[in-house]
Chain A
């Protein structure tokens, strides 16, 4: 009983800290919220069977890896490996829509996400693991199965594209939208 209680608490803590980031991650790949919820629920379910001592110290990596496998399974079962982005794209404003005036912070962030949504899928995933979760190259490699140096390459390429597109809003002291 006591042991169960400790494990329950542990799982509950993890659910609390990780459910939203994992759902956001799964949703980006699956394209809809309902299935993202399913996948994340079964990810946490697996914690009951897991050996806590072996996960401790890299819980985040473990959760993302399991979640990623679940997502892949779903996509495979449905016979498609290309995610539908409609749900997510609808949620963020398109870049370049607004007039050439000072952007509100919210729009600016929306623009960043919209730009990210146009990147190749693998770059998107690496960006999210890095900046949503703060994973190192090595951890991203472990989660995705991509080599560490390839992670660096994907990240560099993605950031270079974003730098080019975002330059007008990045330069200190310069206000305004895209040229």
Chain B
């Protein structure tokens, strides 16, 4: 009675992730038997159909005409005459702004669309049909994704089951293609707008590659995440502001004619004991791929570090997912340590991953136990290898995005290697009001979950956006270093409905611009001189100003409401690199390192030697040895690079 027929219903239920754990395990055992090869193929076929259907519906949804302004106005106005009118104005304004964004992206070819997080799905007002790139939810279909649209996705989805190769046998890690930001001329693009990003996963992942003797793939190197891995000594905010803003300028080390402008943000440090009560739901991947020692066993040790610091103010629940998902610990007060740690210890790996059901369940548990004004958070710990069920990236991201609207934040902890899905995890955190860290060792776990637990666990401002206006009288062109997948349209800055990054307690965020001053020889990418616009030199009102740029930052309180604005003009006093703050030099060293690893066309005179010198001159106080470790990685990379040649 071991034969499984190819048209049995339980195969569908299994592929849909709807079998309970014992039944799924039993079936998995049976499917491994030689006589059940047909049934195994059937499971794969079902998954392919599922992936095709998901894609087909997604396309159809994207092409579906939305409600339109008139209906939106009526909908917004239905609340009552006085307020109604006000609402409807706001609503319509927001919507027309969105329309302009898409039209702009389409016409001017700025390339917003080829970057992630471009236009949300409702913004497809530009044309009825809309091409695929534009129409896909979340606008997250970059080159790589577009290529794998459809059957390729089906193949990915179908590759799961028990035939999954061991880590060493085959590398199926996935990284998105990232195109480095180009120089933009101030005359054509006076505004630069982006969302902050506090993630640091990329650095830890790059470190893992270098330590194992490989240069990382370019897509794994996200320069802003490398820079933001390190702490910088920016001042604590004054007054009741959630963060301080620092801005300064010095020479660009890889191109002495150019200037490097730094924007630094420091989130207010809230002592751990003064944190708001937590409603934490751990969502833990216990699928077969989590079995290796650097995954589930490390995960347990890591989470233990955090769990032990919780107390009676907090509530903890645990949801696991694999072939089936389930609640292994219902919401429990944080001081019942014995019960919580026992649940953690019981976790075992097995089965294939059905992430979406688990995510849904975790958010449900979080919503049921919602603490008003508290830290409501789902903490997803996984290698990101979602395989079973309707788990194409698009619908997962959409699911997370919706759940995030309900006030539950997300922390993504990535583990392991071999089939590590960096691109998926980054997107999930990005769309889920969340942050994302990669944990490759217990040491890293201590950094993320103990030393920086405040930043990881306590959000102090959300939807933080930066807009820089450059003064054409002082600056010819500029280039934002990193943040490629965080770029926003200029109009998004004042649009509070546009999602952006979050800052946690004590977090530091650094952004660097390479700036080409007026008077330095610069050849842009060759736009014809404008016939009707006034040239840069003649920008009269700005002429007398020493300011090279104005930094504007918008943010919202963690529980929403109208955004606030911080503005700060920046003057370049002509400082040299040597006289710059050591933290400035260190951030510049990390940026140069990132450009070298990406073999960026903008690396200029940067060499590994230059990076080492810069970093060595900026080591300063390095209590945890992070900066010393950086120098060690630069050496490794330099030697790997030499061997490559």
Contacts and interface: CB of A to CB of B under 8 A. Distances in A.
Interface string B1-42: 000000101001100101000000000000000000000001
Given A14-B405, A15-B67, A16-B497, 10 more contacts: A2-B561, A8-B79, A20-B61, A23-B66, A37-B68, A37-B71, A112-B52, A130-B53, A131-B50, A159-B50
For the residues of A in contact with B, the DSSP-based class is: helix
Interface of B: 7, 9, 12-13, 16, 18, 42, 45-46, 48-50, 52-62, 64-68, 71-72, 74-76, 78-79, 83, 87, 90-91, 94, 120-122, 149-151, 154-155, 356-357, 360, 363-364, 366-368, 370, 390, 395, 398-399, 401-402, 405-407, 496-497, 560-562
Main secondary structure of the interface of B (DSSP, over half): helix
* Top 6 A-B residue pairs of the complex, sorted by shortest distance between their CB atoms: A57-B367, A132-B57, A131-B53, A156-B12, A109-B56, A156-B9
Interface of A: 2, 4-6, 8-10, 12-21, 23-24, 27, 33, 37, 40-41, 44-45, 48, 56-60, 105, 108-110, 112-113, 116, 127-128, 130-132, 134, 136-137, 152-153, 155-156, 159-160, 162-163, 166-167, 169-170, 172
A109 B18 contact: no
Given A24-B60, A108-B150, A9 B560 contact: yes
Contacts of A162: 49, 53
B406 A152 contact: no
A41 B71 contact: yes
Given A8-B76, A56-B367, A170-B49, A17 B356 contact: no
Contacts of A58: 364, 367
Nearest to B363: A57
A166 B46 CA distance: 11
Nearest to A162: B49
Contacts of A24: 57, 60-61, 64
Contact of B561 (A6, A127, A131, A134): A6
A158 B407 CA distance: 37
B64 A41 contact: no
Given A59-B402, A166-B52, A132 B9 contact: no
Contacts, number: 164
B18 A137 contact: yes
B406 A59 contact: yes
Contact of B75 (A13, A27, A45, A131): A45
Contacts of A159: 12, 46, 49-50
Contact of A166 (B49, B356, B560, B562): B49
Contacts of B155: 172
27 contacts: A6-B561, A8-B76, A9-B496, A10-B405, A15-B75, A20-B64, A24-B57, A56-B406, A56-B407, A59-B402, A105-B150, A105-B151, A108-B52, A108-B151, A116-B53, A127-B53, A131-B390, A132-B58, A134-B390, A134-B398, A152-B18, A153-B9, A159-B46, A159-B50, A162-B49, A169-B151, A170-B45
Contact of B67 (A2, A37, A137, A166): A37
A45 B75 CA distance: 6
Contacts of A152: 9, 12-13, 18
A128 B72 CA distance: 25
